[in-house]
Amino acid sequence: MKTPVKNKISQSVKEVPPALIREMSLKAAAYSNVISLGIGEPDFDTPEAVIRASMEDALRGHTHYTPSRGDEELIDALIAYIKVEKDIELEPNQLMVTHGGMGALIAALRAILDPEDEVIVFEPHFPSYKAQITFSGGRICYVSTRFEDGFIPDPRRVEKAITPRTKAMILNSPNNPTGATVPSGVLDELASIAVERDLIVISDEVYDKLVFKGSHDSLYKRPGMEQRTIVINSFSKTFAMTGWRIGYCYGPNVLIDQVLKVATYFTSCPSSIGQRAALAALKMDREIFVDMANEFKERCGLVYDRLKAIPGIRVHPSSGSFYVFPSVDSLTRDTMNFALELLDKEQVVVIPGEAFGPSGKGCIRISCTVGSNLLLEAMNRLERFVRNYYSS
């Protein structure tokens, strides 16, 4: 008798559950009048100038494979951008363009992990890390962060989690889902640990332009970290370009060479017209993106103000990204059910915190990616829901 094909599916793929965030969107499709605070993408469209420039470039012939490292003009523009924005000087062989930030993450993990190697991940975390580590043959090693600490990583917990198999640590600041940014002092400590314990750091900085106070600080700038950090970044959030699928990463060329090898065999190169759009975004007056970042800050503030007035909800103000991650655990620990009931009774989509790791349970993720009026309406509905079903 033939073996059913289901039995042939890879163990590492089977053990990863389907993405809960996408599932919530599918469930929402059965309702009308839904306000979705579920998916993490800017509601702003890509500016028309960017779209036009890329289409014109396509008509001029930019429709072929580009070099695997990326369109040469885009690489030059990125190096100049990073120098101005971050005061970091890069050689062209230290940077590559990727299929979104996701493409950079998977290629970086695949380039460094051998079977059973461990990667430290602070949780709650961006769910793709777990899948990508598992698909690369590695093991995820959770270091919890807590609501009570504002979800800031505790370096002492990192020390305790390190084993002889620990190869890398992923740090994401500003953070999805918590909206926390890691303070400079904690970055100093994490960098010292990485140097002392010889760890590679993958610094996921895709929300670096959505910092609400001051500017983004990176571990990359700490002593010894240039030699061991791969910075992941993307056009998706900063430039409202999620669908164009353009990201990039940079780091020491010995690592980037291998990341490039993986990406080349996986995808040949990122989309040529997507790269031309990214180039146009870098060349244009970027005021419009600053306004967008300010709008996210305002919306997160507005949601924070509303949530903190709802009995039973605890919340920290977000310091970056476009997420707010309140705790509802004094109302219920079953946040999956809370989210499903909220959708059913009030047609508001939020993501249950357990989608982001065990410490997320008891919290919900709210994406402030609809306009203020709709956001206020969603808060009205959430408040009514809590008062109707959870007040004693």
Footprint of ligand PLP (CB under 6 A): 40, 100-102, 126, 172, 176, 204, 206, 234, 236, 242, 247
Whole-angstrom distance, CA of residue 12 vs CA of residue 190: 30
Q: Which is nearer to ligand PLP, 206 or 310 (CB)?
A: 206
Q: How far is the CB of 286 from ligand PLP (least distance, A)?
A: 18
Q: How far is the CB of 377 from ligand PLP (least distance, A)?
A: 24
CA 321, 324, 329, 334 torsion-angle sign: negative
CB distance 185 to 213 below 8 Å = no
Token duo for residue 99:
């299929």
Longest Cα–Cα distance in the chain: 66
Q: Which is nearer to ligand PLP, 138 or 177 (CB)?
A: 177
Give the list of residues 6+ apart from residue 124 with CB closer than 8 angstroms, or none. 145, 151, 177, 178, 325, 353, 356, 357, 359, 360, 363
Q: Which is nearer to ligand PLP, 103 or 155 (CB)?
A: 103
Whole-angstrom distance, CA of residue 128 vs CA of residue 108: 13
Of all residues in this chain, which one has the CB nearest to ligand PLP in the complex?
A: 100
Q: Which is nearer to ligand PLP, 102 or 193 (CB)?
A: 102
Q: Which is nearer to ligand PLP, 229 or 306 (CB)?
A: 229
Q: How far is the CB of 61 from ligand PLP (least distance, A)?
A: 26
Token duo for residue 392:
């004693």
Q: How far is the CB of 155 from ligand PLP (least distance, A)?
A: 21
Q: How far is the CB of 107 from ligand PLP (least distance, A)?
A: 12
Q: Which is nearer to ligand PLP, 126 or 385 (CB)?
A: 126
Q: How far is the CB of 128 from ligand PLP (least distance, A)?
A: 7
